[in-house]
């Protein structure tokens, strides 16, 4: 055990420390945290609709919440909340990322957020292409001529009726109405592009600011005006660099950079995240970092939020559009909230069951005191009291169960979800929600989810209990 601890301290701890202090990764982590107020508001809107609109349909035939006056209005209001939150989550993340990168460099953070937003928006679709088929004939000819006059493209197509063999000739008209921002370029699909362009544009902006390549105003000018003028040249350069890149990329590839990122980076990464190996690997590192006193969830937040968090936003949006069946058909099985539902009950390591085991089996006064003090926070998934008070950190006897229990419970939750024994997580629930309630709400009010969580807790308890009993013997010695 000592040899293992020494090896981990020598090779793992320095890496964790560097990751935890790397300013760009810290900015990325803080950017995700910064969007939490609005994403939680949008998730709450979807969750309320799930409870009053979707859940009763499982038990009441013919139930339609839109025919109930009060519920109908609540559903409509929640739709507006969703429009201003999760529907444009990528846009809000872009601002939060730019703000935090600029802050990390010690420059104008508001301007940094705006530069990041500008870098994202300039490369998204500004038109809404639509195609209609107009039957040929006198009225059809007039309609097509009118559409041609505004630049619509026209192709002639023939449609054959399979039953009668009759052939009808249509003019297929395709037109693009400019000035419509594509919503799929502003929601969770924008996260990866926002990361790339946001980092590039705001780092350029920040470095120019730090080199004082700015417009300097007289001292009499109000500070707000002076700061705005100082940011003009760095912002101009940063946005033009991204603009030149977007122009030539689109010219060379025939597609927008955001579409290319989604196809070649985002989708493969999200696909890999659904593998059992990837889920287990990130769980191992979370626990290892925590064992050495480094907040594993924070260190790995760029990975957790950047990959599984994006998948979760996709699931939330799909649920809003078509309920749990659409999530099952087109969504992701394992997302950011899945860790909270089946692995992190009571905090990282599932420590609420360790506290229960201590209160039941421990004969050590120090353990029982910490257990009593940690129970209240543990119910709300806050486990720092037991992590540092027991402690679990650098405690050799707790290393094995602290690492093993989450691996087993993650496997239970993963296979229960992938085997459709429980609905995928499709709601974003605040992490301080008590464990069984959290999994119930996170899965769109699936009653089976708390049962799976309870099974995970029981298994975890069985793993922790022998080590708590062994700690009694250590105290006697």
Contacts of 252 (CB under 8 A, 6+ apart): none
Sign (positive or negative) of CA dihedral 199, 90, 313, 257: negative
Contacts of 18 (CB under 8 A, 6+ apart): none
The alpha carbon of residue 328 and the mean position of all alpha carbons in its chain are separated, in whole angstroms, by 18
- Total residue length of the chain: 477
d(CA 408, CA 405): 5
The H or E element that residue 218 is part of is none
Burial class from Cβ neighbours inside 10 Å (0-12, 13-18, 19+) for residue 155 reads exposed
The H or E element that residue 121 is part of is helix 109-121
Decide: 35 and 86 in contact? Cβ < 8 Å. no
Report the predicted TM-score, pTM, of the whole model to 2 decimal places: 0.74
E strand map for 89-204: 127-135, 153-160, 167-178
Could you tell me which of 291, 474, 286, 284 has the C-alpha nearest to residue 388? 291
* Residue 423: DSSP 8-state: P
d(CA 431, CA 278): 22
The pLDDT of residue 12 is: 60
> Two tokens at 197?
């362009």
Other residues' Cβ atoms within 10 Å of the Cβ of residue 2: 7
Contacts of 194 (CB under 8 A, 6+ apart): 90, 93, 94, 97, 116, 120
The pLDDT of residue 142 is: 62
Q: Give the residue carrying structure tokens 């109000």.
A: 222
Decide: 464 and 405 in contact? Cβ < 8 Å. yes
Q: Is 391 helix (H, G, I), strand (E, B) or coil?
A: coil
Q: Judging by DSSP bridges, how do beta strands 153-160 and 127-135 pair with one another?
A: unpaired
* DSSP character string of 255-288: S-HHHHHIIIIIHHHHHHHTSHHHHHHHHHHHHH
Decide: 377 and 383 in contact? Cβ < 8 Å. yes
The pLDDT of residue 168 is: 65
Mean pLDDT by 10-residue block, N- to C-terminus, for the chain (477 residues)? 60 64 82 84 82 76 83 89 88 93 93 94 79 58 61 62 65 65 84 91 94 81 81 93 94 91 85 90 88 76 84 88 86 92 90 93 88 87 83 82 93 94 89 88 90 96 90 64
d(CA 240, CA 247): 10
Give the CA distances from residue 369 to residues 250, 363, 364, 460, 463, in Å, rounded to whole numbers and listed in that order. Answer: 64, 11, 9, 21, 21
Could you tell me which of 358, 277, 342, 273 has the C-alpha nearest to residue 314? 273
Burial class from Cβ neighbours inside 10 Å (0-12, 13-18, 19+) for residue 283 reads buried
Could you tell me which of 354, 357, 334 has the C-alpha nearest to residue 345? 354
Could you tell me which of 53, 103, 122 has the C-alpha nearest to residue 82? 53
């Amino acid at each position: 055990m000592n040899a293992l601890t020494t090896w981990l301290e020598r090779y793992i701890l320095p890496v964790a420390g560097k990751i935890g202090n790397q300013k760009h990764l810290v900015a990325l982590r803080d950017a995700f945290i910064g969007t939490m107020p609005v994403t939680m508001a949008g998730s709450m809107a979807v969750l309320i609709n799930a409870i009053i609109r979707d859940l009763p349909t499982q038990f009441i035939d013919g139930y339609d919440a839109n025919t109930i006056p009060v519920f109908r209005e609540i559903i409509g209001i929640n739709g507006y909340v969703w429009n201003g939150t999760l529907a444009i989550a990528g846009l809000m993340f872009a601002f939060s990322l730019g703000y935090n990168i600029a802050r990390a460099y010690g420059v104008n953070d508001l301007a940094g957020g705006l530069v990041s937003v500008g870098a994202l928006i300039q490369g998204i679709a500004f038109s809404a292409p639509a195609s209609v088929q107009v039957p040929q004939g006198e009225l059809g000819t007039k309609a097509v001529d009118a559409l041609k006059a505004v630049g619509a493209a026209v192709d002639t197509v023939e449609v054959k009726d399979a039953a009668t063999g009759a052939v009808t000739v249509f003019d297929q008209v395709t037109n693009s109405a400019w000035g419509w921002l594509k919503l799929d370029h502003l929601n969770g699909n924008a996260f990866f592009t926002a990361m790339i362009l946001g980092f590039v544009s705001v780092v350029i902006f920040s470095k120019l600011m730090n080199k004082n390549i700015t417009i300097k105003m007289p001292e009499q000018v109000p500070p707000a005006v002076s700061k705005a003028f100082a940011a003009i040249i760095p912002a101009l350069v940063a946005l033009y660099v991204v603009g030149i890149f977007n122009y030539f990329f689109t010219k060379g590839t025939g597609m927008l950079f955001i579409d290319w990122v989604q196809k070649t980076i985002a989708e493969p990464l999200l696909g890999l995240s659904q593998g059992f190996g990837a889920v287990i690997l990130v769980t191992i590192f979370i626990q290892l970092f925590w064992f050495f006193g480094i907040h594993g969830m924070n260190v790995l937040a760029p990975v957790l939020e950047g990959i599984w968090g994006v998948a979760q936003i996709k699931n939330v949006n799909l649920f809003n559009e078509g309920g749990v069946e659409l999530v099952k058909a087109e969504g992701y099985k394992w997302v950011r909230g899945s860790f909270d539902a089946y692995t992190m009950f009571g905090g990282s390591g599932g420590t609420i069951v360790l506290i229960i085991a201590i209160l039941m089996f421990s004969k050590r006064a120090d353990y029982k005191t910490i257990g009593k003090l940690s129970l209240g926070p543990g119910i709300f998934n806050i486990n720092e009291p037991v992590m540092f008070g027991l402690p679990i950190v650098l405690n050799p006897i707790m290393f094995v169960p602290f690492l093993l229990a989450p691996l087993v419970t993650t496997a239970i939750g993963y296979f229960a979800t992938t085997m459709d024994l429980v609905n995928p997580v499709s709601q974003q629930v605040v992490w301080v929600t008590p464990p069984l309630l959290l999994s119930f709400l996170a899965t769109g009010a699936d009653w089976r989810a708390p049962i799976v969580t309870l099974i995970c807790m029981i298994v975890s308890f069985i793993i922790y209990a022998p080590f708590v009993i062994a700690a009694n013997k250590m105290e006697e010695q």
